[in-house]
Amino acid sequence: MTDLDILHFEQLKKDVQAQYLKEYNPSYDEISKWKGIDIIYFQEDLRKKAKGNISEKSFYTYFKSSPVSKLPRIDMLNLLSIYAGYDSWYDFKKNHLFAGELLTDDRDLNDEEMKALEKTVSSALNLHTTEEQPKKQESDAEENSVLQIIDTENQTIEQKTINLKTSEKAQQKPTKKSFQRAAWIAATSVFVILLGLLGFKDEIFQKTYTYHFTDADRNLGVQSDIEIKVIKENESPILYRIKPGQPFIYSSRDKALKMKISSAVYENLEVNRNLENAPEDETIELKPDDYKMALYYFSMKDINGENSEELIKQKRKQLENLISNEAVITQVYDSDIYGLESLDKQKYITLVTTPTTALKNLNVIEMKKEKGKIVSIKFKISTHENNK
């Protein structure tokens, strides 16, 4: 990396900013001041025009400070150059040469070229060794022939000595008594039985319980994924994911069961059961959550067609009734530079009712209700580099 590369990247950031301002009106014209929904709309435009994406963390790292201390990866440089209207990062630099700058297309060797080079060098180094090997083999053959003659001369004496020692040891071994053998067999049998009981004790003493889930309003089976956390004392929670329409089958020899049930469209539910007298087959009702359903609708549906505007108005009105005017709404970022941002009610509703691919990665970290109104929301939009 050179100082000229840093200057070129600062030029590229200005071109990216100019390209975005041709079609959009963010909160600020200067790209270093963008945040929240402006970054989401920029990521959406980048996916559409350059077929790629940069994470929120990378945006804050490379666009919030000027000049930067290091360059992004080459794939990010190429992506931003394509968005600005160039073929690649190299093409962008070629069209923005400084006075006296000599631009060379210096590329590193790829893996295949590196392997070929290593093979050539290795062959050259081993050439001298392979030429000397025949001479060494000839000398080794002569030494082996001499050793073989010496070994055959001593072989008869050594064999006689070994046979004498073996016969002496055989005479010293006492004969085993029959009751010792029987005792050994009996002890082994008892050990095998005890080992089998220890290995299958869970299967012998545990019971199996089956739980079905239905929609409390429609009295039908739940048609969305369910997450179940089984809480045990002094242990980390065990997470189970249940597909739509499937029961939760749980085998245990514990006396109690504590479950926390959550879903994308139903209210969270905590279930406690005394397994000593609990039924082995049970149905649990889940109550639909209007807020989650509205959010799920926009994150999973593609809003288009003649009635799209009417549908958006309907969902906005539904969220306005659910969220308190004094609600505390906080967005959490994957960034060391900018960690939290507060949003007012209207900005948040605009964010979650604008159909974008970013909504598929929106996760509600925490939500609180009081008297039927949502008074606190903490959420995060997870983003991944090159997420097309």
Three-state DSSP class for 261?
Answer: strand
Pairing of strands 281-286, 248-252: unpaired
207 three-class SS: strand
Predicted local confidence at residue 143, as pLDDT: 47
pLDDT at 157: 41
d(CA 114, CA 181): 66
Cα→Cα distances 269→84, 244, 344, Å: 49, 17, 28
Per-residue pLDDT of the chain (388 residues; tens, 9 = 90+): 567 888 889 999 999 999 999 999 998 999 999 988 899 999 999 999 999 999 988 999 899 888 888 899 999 999 999 999 999 999 999 998 877 666 655 444 445 444 543 443 344 334 344 444 544 444 454 445 444 444 444 444 455 444 545 545 555 455 556 777 788 888 888 888 777 666 665 556 678 889 999 888 777 788 778 989 999 887 889 999 898 888 999 888 788 899 999 887 788 899 999 887 888 898 998 888 767 666 665 555 555 555 567 777 887 888 888 899 989 999 888 665 557 888 888 888 888 877 676 667 777 888 888 888 899 998 888 765 444 4
- CA–CA distance, 148 with 152 (Å, rounded to integer): 6
Q: CA angle, 60 as apex, 55 and 61 as ends, to 5°?
A: 95
Cβ-Cβ contacts under 8 Å for 240 (sequence gap 6 or more): 227, 228, 229, 230, 248
Give the chain's count of helices (H) and strands (E). 11, 11
Q: Are 355 and 303 in contact (CB under 8 A)?
A: yes
Spell out a b/e string for 15-43, using b for 16 or more CB atoms within 10 Å of the CB, else e.
bbbebbeeeeebeeeebeebbbbbbbbbb
> How confident is the model at residue 127, as a pLDDT?
39
